[in-house]
Structure 1
Amino acid sequence: MSTSTTHKALELLQLTQTICHYEAELERETGGNFNLMQILGVGHYEVKTHSPILAELLNPKGSHGQGAAFLDLFIDQLEITDFDTTTARVDQEYHIGPVTKTSGGRIDILLRDAKGGCIMIENKIYAEEQQNQILRYHNAFKEGHILFLTLDGSPPVSIAKTHPDKLQSIAYATHIIDWLEACRKEATTVPTVRESITQYIHLIKALTNQNTNSRMSQKITAAALQNPESLQAFFAVRNAESDVKRDILNTFREKLTLLAEKHKLHLSGPEDDFGAVYSSASFHSDNWPTPLCICFEFQGSNFSNLIFGLSDQGKLEQAVRNTFRESFNKTYGNSKQTGYWPAWNYWSRHRNWNADTFQAIQFGHFVDDLEHELIQMIDIINTVLKGQQS
């Protein structure tokens, strides 16, 4: 990078920092950061959060009071021409029979009209795709449209040998946000509906790592496009992202090492590939049975689906594993038990990392949050082991 480009990049960073500070203050004064769904920590639930919101907006008889306007915008965007929105009805978790290899299951959102038209929406935020799921739904409504909805528009794996003609992969990051923006314009004169849609848009942008402040994005874009030097500086800054993240993770490793020493534990990881699927950081003690440890592990790639819990590589007796899970549940509520894990949960507060997470690691509260969970799990382990000795 030339000296002039470096200077220009630093100027652009300084300008961006000024814009961010200004917009953050404006958001604070106007309450733009207030989002009930994020406060309640329910933003990652397909069944409890996203499906009900989507179904309500798509329902012509929904409480929004806009009739079929939102549904019309939805099918127009997806170029669905054989569905009558005026007679549409909407069902959630629609049961189509016991699950077999080729039939049955529950459709997340089902839309049907009086003429036999059908739209099935399979909603995937983080849940695993079930075996032959698309085939089973296709067999239930052979002429129906199947919309496979994910954060980034990834196609389904469980597709029949012959691709259903009316299968579409759609994304929260693009299709749903674009549709919601159109719905918000439609609801301009209905403040409660408009602001509810705005909050939902902000939630989805947070889940898909997009800037929730379009005004700020516009200002930064304008600054980057002022002249060739500014644009070159912008790309130079962007190309430094991997180096910035690497240095932050090195700091994170140092902080975890100090944390382990503080609590008289041994630390394994995080390795250089931290953030990849199944990469982890774990803590263990000489006083605990091998290989029991407290583990934080990504179940997805690119710093996604972070879980935490007790790991034993499946080597403890089942009765002991169940005891650990029962104790874990008293602190964290219902947990999951799998082959290598007596008890684990998604870490809802930091489940999917974004720019705010890296900022919290470098300058904020992230390690404090992790220590809070670590202390609670140390207490769980020690309580169970003490009970076994008595």
Structure 2
Amino acid sequence: MNDIINILNQVRIVSRKIKEQRKEKFERGENYNIFNDLGFMSDEVHLHSMFLANLLNPKGSHGQRGKFLEAFLKMLQKSFPAISADKLELDITNASVEVEKYIGRQTDSEGGRIDIYLTDGKHSIIIENKIYAGDQHHQMLRYWNYEMSQKGDDTEKSFVLIYLTLDGCSPSKESLGEDLKENDIVCLSYKSDIRGWLDRCVELASRTPLVRETINQYISTIDILTNNVMEDNKDLLDILCKEENLDAVFDIIDSKENLINHIINDEFIPKLKDLAEDKGLEICGNYKRNWVSDRYPGAHFQKTGWKFLDLAFQFESVGLDRMVFGFVCKGESNRSDVPTPVWEKVQEHYSISSPIKDKNNDLWIHKDFIGNKNWNNSQAIKNLRNGKTLNDFSIMFDEAIDCVKGLDI
């Protein structure tokens, strides 16, 4: 215990220094990121697919014609030499890019929407873009089948099917189906492949400052998403890496999950329960749980007179990340159990302050939580204790209840 107290005292001193450095960095405007400030950080379609497609488009507003596309093709050829050269010989002057390309009604083996579709009429590149979303049933197989049907017997036509994720992981068996194999797919990562290509784009745009700095802003977004942000923490690391401190460091690390769960279960949830009751809501069930490790942890709140829906919050990723808040179908029911006029009215009312994330969702009508969306960090835990997050819940409870006032939900 004395070792832990000693190391915490040392870390506290260095931590104050780091905070001062971060404050200075903030005041110099070095933390400014327009994509993050507008809430687009993890928006696959409206930020990532649209931004990448714009850079890849020779007719894009960046004015660099085919420079960025050529750099992208060179990156693919260098990183994945197994791709035959002829598949990457796109005619830059005739190339076009489409986002969310509709390829027909979705069935078990066909149809859906391709995130980014690049083609010159003979050569095509299909990019399935994944930031956080899970794989859909036979998703890559459906895109493969579409391109095979377009190719037919034309030997001059070819395509490359790309699976783009933060870390370059492979698509699931659910996405590939029985016939498609992993080696039929090119797996790209934002962390290295896209990051390297974007660095090259910055070099190519050196004489166009607005384009260059916009790409740099996007690069900083990618760095945050891929945990590639390097802070000047050398002094802190020097302390933590000392041999006499290592046991204490790992004891502290091992206690993190228990600490977070204790604060949520024993300090925050009882306060949230009391707040909900003040609003005429009742928390459903016992929510003492392992919040850090459980899948989709959250809580439901029922209100007397509401027959079809409850209020709820939920984290969409393990590790208390990406918190959403909204209305959810009661119990084991789904959208088909809720009268269509009621469902649509709730969507209409609840979308006043924020766009609905998924109009086809069978269980949820939700939006991003207005406060900390990730509770696995020190500031979020402080906000659980100092009343900030409780106040955010109060605002969202009031807003939701007001939005459905007068509706028979």
Q: Give the TM-score normalised by the residue count of structure 2.
A: 0.77
Which amino acid in structure 1 is aligned with residue 325 of structure 2? F
Counterpart of 2:183? 165
- Deviation, structure 1 residue 25: 1.0
Q: Give the root-mean-square deviation of aligned CA atoms.
A: 3.5
Counterpart of 1:277? 295
Closer/same/farther in 2, CA of residues 121 and 260 from structure 1, 3 Å limit: same
Counterpart of 1:252? 268
In structure 1, runs of 5+ residues without a counterpart are: none
Counterpart of 2:115? 108
Q: Distance in 2 between matches of 1:205 and 1:3?
A: 37
From 301, 314, 318, the equivalent of 1:297 is: 314
Q: Distance in 2 between matches of 1:235 and 1:188?
A: 45
Q: Distance in 2 between matches of 1:86 and 1:317?
A: 52
Which amino acid in structure 1 is aligned with residue 67 of structure 2? G
Counterpart of 2:164? 149
Greater shift after overlay, 103-112 or 64-73?
Answer: 64-73
From 210, 227, 232, the equivalent of 1:192 is: 210
Which amino acid in structure 2 is aligned with residue 129 of structure 1? D
Which amino acid in structure 1 is aligned with residue 349 of structure 2? S
Counterpart of 1:57? 55
- Deviation, structure 1 residue 340: 4.3
Which amino acid in structure 2 is aligned with residue 51 of structure 1? S
CA contact (8 A) 2:11 2:239 kept: no
Q: Distance in 1 between matches of 2:10 and 2:23?
A: 20
Counterpart of 1:67? 67
Which amino acid in structure 2 is aligned with residue 151 of structure 1? L
Q: Distance in 2 between matches of 1:353 and 1:172?
A: 24
- Deviation, structure 1 residue 158: 1.3
Q: Distance in 2 between matches of 1:79 and 1:224?
A: 39
CA contact (8 A) 1:61 1:67 kept: no
Which amino acid in structure 1 is aligned with residue 113 of structure 2? R
Q: How does 1:2-81 map to 2 (within 5 A)?
A: 3-4=2-3, 6-59=4-57, 62=60, 63=62, 65=64, 67-68=67-68, 70-71=71-72, 74-75=75-76, 78-80=79-81
From 114, 118, 121, the equivalent of 2:127 is: 121
Counterpart of 1:224? 240
Counterpart of 1:327? 349
- Deviation, structure 1 residue 161: 2.2
Closer/same/farther in 2, CA of residues 166 and 60 from structure 1, 3 Å limit: farther
Closer/same/farther in 2, CA of residues 193 and 233 from structure 1, 3 Å limit: farther
Which amino acid in structure 2 is aligned with residue 368 of structure 1? N
Q: Distance in 2 between matches of 1:17 and 1:375?
A: 38
Figure out how many residues of one structure are paired with residues of the other and give that number: 378
Q: Distance in 2 between matches of 1:186 and 1:232?
A: 48
Deviations 1:218-247 (A, max 9, x none): 55444434x323444443443332133223
Q: Distance in 1 between matches of 2:396 and 2:403?
A: 11
- Deviation, structure 1 residue 167: 0.8
CA contact (8 A) 2:57 2:97 kept: no
Q: Distance in 2 between matches of 1:312 and 1:104?
A: 29
Closer/same/farther in 2, CA of residues 181 and 371 from structure 1, 3 Å limit: farther
Closer/same/farther in 2, CA of residues 291 and 47 from structure 1, 3 Å limit: closer
In structure 2, runs of 5+ residues without a counterpart are: 149-157
Local SS of the residue matching 1:49 = helix
From 312, 327, 330, the equivalent of 1:310 is: 327
- Deviation, structure 1 residue 373: 0.9
Counterpart of 1:204? 222
Q: Distance in 2 between matches of 1:85 and 1:233?
A: 57
Deviations 1:54-109 (A, max 9, x none): 12334455516382464256325632452247737351234445544434443222
